Copies of this chain bind each other. A is one copy, B any other.
Amino acid sequence: MDVFDAIKKRRSIRQYLKKEVEEEKLLKILEAARQAPSASNRQEWRFVIVKEPATRARLAIAAKGQKFVEEAPVLIAVCAQTDNHTMTCGQLCYPIDCAIAIDHMTLAARALDLGTCWIGAFHEDQVKKILNIPSEIRVVELLTLGYPKELPASTKDRLPLDAIVSRERWQNL
Contact = CB atoms under 8 A, between A and B. Distances in A.
How many copies make up the complex?
2
The majority secondary structure among interface residues of chain A is mixed
Contacts of A4: 28, 32, 108, 111
Interface in A1-48: 1-8, 10, 12, 27-28, 30-32, 34-37, 39, 41, 43, 45-48
Contact of A168 (B5, B32, B52, B173): B52
B34 A122 contact: no
A130 to B, nearest CB: 9
Interface residues of A, number: 85
Contact of A41 (B92, B95, B156): B156
Interface of A: 1-8, 10, 12, 27-28, 30-32, 34-37, 39, 41, 43, 45-52, 55, 64, 79, 87-93, 95-100, 102-104, 106-108, 110-111, 118, 120-124, 127, 131-134, 137, 139-141, 155-161, 164-170, 172-173
16 contacts: A3-B5, A12-B37, A39-B118, A45-B164, A47-B166, A48-B170, A87-B121, A88-B123, A89-B140, A89-B141, A91-B141, A96-B98, A96-B141, A103-B104, A107-B107, A131-B170
